[in-house]
Amino acid sequence: MNKLNIIVAILPLMTTLCEGNRPNNKNGDFFTVDVSASYPKKELILQDFMDVEYIPLETNNEFVCQGIVLDVGKNIILIKNAHPNDNGDIFFFDRNGKALRKINRLGKSGEEYTSASTVILDEDNQELFVYDRTKTIVYDLHGTFKRSFRHTKDTSYEQMFNYNGENLMYKVSDMGDIAQMLSVMNHTFSDGDKEIDKNPNRQSFAVISKQDGHIIKEIQISFKEKKSPSVVERTGTGGVTTMHPGIRPSIINYKDSWILEVFFSDTVFRMLPDFSLKPFIVRTPSIQSMNPEVFLSLENVTGRYYFMKTLKKGKGQPKIQLIYDKQEKTIFEYTMYNADYSKKESVFMQTNIANDGDIVFWQN
């Protein structure tokens, strides 16, 4: 059998110590990016500012997978298969790629999940959190059910993150926004459920208790009008709707804080430990004034660089990779290469991994 390798890019210790290269965000410092401007091009070498780790995953008759990384912990890597081959298996490997175990709790009972698209590893508490549409299910690291909790009424939690030892964090969506894309089961809530503020001109983020799901703190970002980076078209005689996804807003763990991004807002915010919001990036021109819109997405943050992406609304529009150099205080359109590759191939950041901030991105 062919062995599958995953590549993990890790923020090296030296970058976390280079405080002289960081804006002083605690004092409200931020920079502005003009999403309509053209910027000079620059090539980057991945190894110049990140540590790169290659992990060959053990492959045998019981452990054959496509290497889609769910989470990376201190000792464990969680892996799944990609759609349409995702059968509910969650594979456990150690950090050297040795196969440990796999679990599968796919089903429709109260102790099972209907999908394992988002899974959070909590090694400190020896627990696994599986996001399952209307609820979050908690297992131990051997797949034994421990508890579950329903999500707030008429809302969908997305982009689940391990906020700290006691809490999770989610991006919150109104069910009305996703009703055409997701069939949601009816369920009831106790009188003690607190509802999220579903103001159509606000985006909410929620810090939730890992024990029972009650809301610790709701964080809101206001905007004038919702804007979608997706292109929707109808094809064929049956009126089939096809969605062309654009870019995804980011939630990024950054040192002792979290970076929160909303496409409809002109400001990317940094949320401090006391839940206060500080401007991190300000875009211009305003997203509310553009037609067609140009969307900005923050991909990742290192000790020296902010990695960003822009997308102009419209089918077939290219995504442009931008980087802000905090040391030089300049913006470039960049292409990044892995020096270990035998051929000169570009490397793209991926933000679809929940982690503690040390792991920047992965590839397989």
- pLDDT tens for 54-71 read 999 999 988 888 888 999
Written as one string, the DSSP assignment of 28-92 is T--EEEETTS---EEEEEGGGTSEEEEEEEP--SS-----EEEEE-SSEEEEEPPTTS--S-EEE
Amino acid at 256: D
How many angstroms separate the CA atoms of 128 and 306, rounded? 31
At residue 124, the pLDDT reads 94
At residue 255, the pLDDT reads 79
How many angstroms separate the CA atoms of 349 and 94, rounded? 23
- pLDDT tens for 188-213 read 333 334 555 556 788 889 999 999 99
**Would you say domain 4-363 falls under CATH 1.10.1200?**
no
Asked whether the predicted pLDDT for residue 149 surpasses 90, the reply is yes
Asked whether the predicted pLDDT for residue 325 surpasses 90, the reply is yes
At residue 300, the pLDDT reads 85
Q: Give the global pTM.
A: 0.83
